[in-house]
Amino acid sequence: TLWQGNTPLRYLHGIITGMETGENNHWQMNYSLTISPPLWRCGLRQNFRIFQQQDIRAISTTLLTENGVTDWVPSFYEAHPAREFCVQYGETDLAFLTRLWAEEGIFFFDWFHPTGPDQKLVLCDDVAGVSPLGSLPFNPNTREVSTECISEFHYRAQVRPSSVENQDYTFKTPGWPGYFSHHATNLNGQRTQYEIFDYPGRFKDEQHGQDFARYLAEGFRHDAETAACASNSPKLWPGKRFTLTGHPSLTLNREWQVTGSVLKGEQPQAQHGHRGEGTTLSNRLDVIPADRTWRSSPLPKPSVDGPQSAIVTGPAGEEIFCDEHGRVRVRFHWDRYCPGNEDSSCWIRVSQAWAGAGFGNLAIPRVGQEVIVDFLNGDPDQPIIMGRTYHQDNRSPGSLPGTKTQMTIRSKTYKGGGFNELRFEDATGQEQVYIHAQKNMDTEVLNNRTTDVKMDHTETIGNNQKITVGLGQTVTVGKENAGGHDQAVTVAHDQSVSVGNDQTLNVTNDRKKDVGNNQDSKVVGDDTEKVEKSQNITVGKDYTLTVTDSLTIKVGECVLKMNKDGTIMLNGVKIQFKADDSIKGVASTVHFN
């Protein structure tokens, strides 16, 4: 507590963070104490941590509470939307918080109760949250007065960037320009050509884009107009505004905002053997005009050195867990807070071998698989899966190194033990392309299909086979065509079979042939037909048999022969004629022996 006589002027609160002893002169010992605000504790913890779907208030609440900073208040006038995925990557809690506060345009200060020990950390994003103290006169002769005043005031103006342009990209709306700008005010005649272009802007929505551009511009210009001053008032510290009066430069007689304060008190007569000049108090201040909000310039964000491995996660009992974009969630090895379930990380995009509008390659990493995660622009808030790898529990197909000559694409049946596989064997003399379908295999060819087998072709069908030919079918067999079990061939239109040499048809049991219309049969050479038993021929209408040379019908000892000259010879052991009506014969000569 700072006293003036019996009146307390200011209360200072904090935690002792350091102590040092001075020389002992046998009369007294000097001690030096370092007192820091509770926020100082946040600088002692370093962490790797993920925050999902939380705004700056929620993130601040978590970390401040964990560090014992319970007396704090957010004084927000701006909207601060939630962040989808925000990573504390190897930063202290203090570095992480101050970086986020700078990105969100938030400054902070300690508020002290004027008449008591109460102290609070205040997070603020607008100068409206800075409390006014009233007027203080300018008086360079502080030794002659005891009233509070400003004894020194040194104004400074500097050329700073005049505008900010920032841009970012989001895959959800690839056509979105993602471009925002902010042109500074209060340039005081400075040129407007000093532009800062920032990419990536680290935003994915309109609100953050507009706000971040403004926060950046105001942060780059936070020291464009400043003043260094001195006062004997202990009531001036960050979080206060005052109005300067009585300064010879009339333009300086305005309201100012305190951004820094160094309070120094001296009491030399307290030292043994020192009389000194009495107790003195001085306050060195940094101020800016109070018509604008002080914001921090951008603070460095950690960059990820390179790719990392992670494990794909999902709900209990689930093997494939993704969203409509094919994104998955993972657990990073450094994430101590991850439950290893469907909430372990943000949805992370997966790089594919080919990606187009409705075409390309798609293979979703499955729960439990190890993936290689990289980070866009080294930003820990923007992970992307670039690859996958095997480990001891997830072994590769085959048995290495014995199958080192094989290139395999093998899937796994969802919640089952089966698989589909395409395998290439490149061993010399054993080259093979192997395809395995766990259940069905469908092939669709919109035009021609050609298969050229230089050697043998074997097909084994465990059940039925059905072939439907829309138009013609031509089967050419060089030597032999053999079949095993049942076969059904349905031809919707024509069928043509061409045999270059012999064709043999063996039917073990019955054979039936139905011809819906006419049947033509042509034999260039001889035609021999042998029926072991009976043969029945039924003709619905006429039956005509035309023989160019001769026709012989032989039954046992009976022979009927007809020659092309018209001679008919009937030879038998016994010939009988029987007619229910009559028998008529006409000839020029009739001989009976």
Express each pLDDT in 442-460 by its tens digit. Answer: 999 999 999 999 999 999 9
State yes or no: pLDDT of 251 exceeds 90. Answer: yes
Q: Is the pLDDT of residue 181 over 80?
A: yes
* pLDDT score of 493: 76
Q: Is the pLDDT confidence value at 572 over 80?
A: yes
Q: 283: helix, coil or strand?
A: strand
The candidate with the shortest Cα–Cα distance to 333, out of 347, 345, 323, 315, is: 345
For the ranges 96-100, 328-332, 532-536, which has the lowest average pLDDT?
A: 532-536
Pairing mode of beta strands 474-477, 496-499:
parallel
Percent share of the chain, pLDDT over 90: 57
Kindly list the domain boundaries of the chain, sorted by start residue. 35-124, 163-220, 303-395
Query: Mean of the pLDDT values across residues 141-167?
Result: 87
Q: Which is more confidently placed, 28 or 401?
A: 401
**Residues in CB range of 199: below 8 A, 6 or more apart:** 166, 167, 168
For 467-506, what is each residue's pLDDT tens digit?
998 888 888 777 665 555 666 677 777 777 777 788 888 8
Question: Of the spans 133-137, 192-196, 514-518, which averages the highest pLDDT?
Answer: 133-137
**pLDDT greater than 80 at residue 116:** no
pLDDT at 350 over 90: yes
pLDDT value of position 4? 65
| Mean of pLDDT over the chain | 89
Across 514-526, average pLDDT: 86
Residue 145's pLDDT is 60
Mean pLDDT throughout 186-206? Answer: 87
- What's the pLDDT score for residue 280? 75
What is the maximal distance between C-alpha atoms in the chain?
Answer: 185
Q: In this structure, which topology does domain 35-124 adopt according to CATH?
A: Phage tail protein beta-alpha-beta fold (3.55.50)
Question: Given this model, what pLDDT does residue 410 score?
Answer: 94
Give pLDDT tens digits for 215-225. Answer: 999 999 999 99
pLDDT of residue 243 exceeding 80: yes
pLDDT band, very low/low/confident/very high, at 579 (cuts 50, 70, 90)? confident
Does residue 260 surpass a pLDDT of 70?
A: yes
Percent of the chain with pLDDT over 70: 95
Confidence of residue 582 (pLDDT cuts 50, 70, 90): confident
Report how far residue 257's alpha carbon sits from residue 428's, in angstroms, rounded to the nearest whole number.
82
| Confidence category of residue 535, pLDDT binned at 50, 70, 90 | confident
Mean pLDDT for the stretch of residues 284-313: 94
Looking at residue 458, what is its pLDDT? 93
Domain 303-395 class in CATH: mainly beta
Per the model's pLDDT, the better-predicted residue between 370 and 472 turns out to be 370
201 pLDDT above the threshold of 70? yes
Whole-angstrom Cα distance, residue 218 to residue 288? 12
pLDDT one-digit tens code per residue, 549-566: 898 888 888 888 889 888
pLDDT at 448: 95
Which pLDDT score, from 0 to 100, does residue 553 have?
86
Which residue's entry shows tokens 């230089």?
Answer: 454
What pLDDT is stored for residue 1 in this prediction? 66
pLDDT interval class at 545 (50, 70, 90)? confident
Q: Which residues contact 419 (CB under 8 A, 6 or more apart)?
A: 410, 411, 412, 413, 436, 438
pLDDT at 485: 60
Q: Ranked by mean pLDDT, which of 138-147, 239-248, 571-580 comes out on top? A: 239-248
Q: Which residues pair with 555 in a beta bridge?
A: 558
Q: How far apart are the first and last CA of the chain?
A: 167
The mean pLDDT of 519-530, rounded to a whole number, is 86
**130-134, 364-368, 371-375, 527-531: segment of lowest average pLDDT:** 527-531
Mean pLDDT of 341-365: 91
- 114 or 538, which is more confident? 538
pLDDT range class, residue 318, cuts 50, 70, 90: very high
Give 211: exposed, middle or buried? Use CB within 10 Å, 0-12, 13-18, 19+.
buried
> Comparing C-alpha atoms, which of 344, 385, 391 is closest to residue 363?
385
pLDDT value, residue 30 = 82
The label of the residue with tokens 């601040």 reads 60
